[in-house]
Amino acid sequence: MNRLLFKFFSVLILMLISISTFSNYPTYQIGLLKYKGGGDWYANLETSLPNLIKFCNENLSTNFSGEQAIIDVASSDIFNVPFVHMTGHGNVQFSEQEALNLRNYLIAGGFLHIDDNYGMDKFIRPQMKKVFPELDFIELPFSHPVYHQKYDFNTGLPKIHEHDDKPPQGFGLIYKGRLVCFYSFECDLGDGWESFEVHKDSPEAHSKALKMGANLVQYAFTSKLLIK
């Protein structure tokens, strides 16, 4: 595991340098988390992350590969990607080994974005308790830096799709003062990244979703700011 962590830190440091200086470093991938339990981890497989990656490369001067990496939650490959996105509508199940692997990844400096695609909430919360038994999701204030990177979201997450007539909420897991996981709920952020023909979202909603996604990426790679 020490060798994996060293490799991960090396990737992360190069990525930080790349974004902060806009230099032409080798490309890195953003990961899509594959999990067991029967939930559709692949719900937004075709265009969601690829569109976000393209948007970040064009607007944040990142140099991500256009191809997302499919990362099994138990695989050591997770240490090759500093940012992992997770979505779905249904059941999620982590084994003890998977929970430990994800915990080690996040403690080492990785970042997980969980996006409830509607129906995931009651499953993901107990599974993340396996990963961090000592932590609870807390709702992040609108003043949190994740909402104020290149793009300002003064009222928090944008509402992309309506389900239960509830406002969107952004929750976080804070480990030793660091935001290691951001959970977007009642928002459908990943759906908003999809191409128009998938959900026929308005250009305004699509733009807001991509900008918020870019904020998450920028925060994950460049910020060590702590929640107060």
- pLDDT by residue (tens digit) across 36-70? 999 999 998 889 999 999 999 999 999 999 999 99
User: What's the CATH class of domain 2-222?
Assistant: alpha beta
**Whether residue 228 has pLDDT greater than 90:** no
Which pLDDT score, from 0 to 100, does residue 19 have?
46
d(CA 120, CA 122) in angstroms, rounded, equals 6
d(CA 8, CA 156) in angstroms, rounded, equals 31
Helix (H) or strand (E) holding 171: strand 169-175
Residue range 121-174, pLDDT digits in tens = 999 999 999 999 999 999 999 999 999 999 999 999 999 888 788 899 999 999
Mean of pLDDT values over 94-107: 98
Mean residue pLDDT across the chain: 88
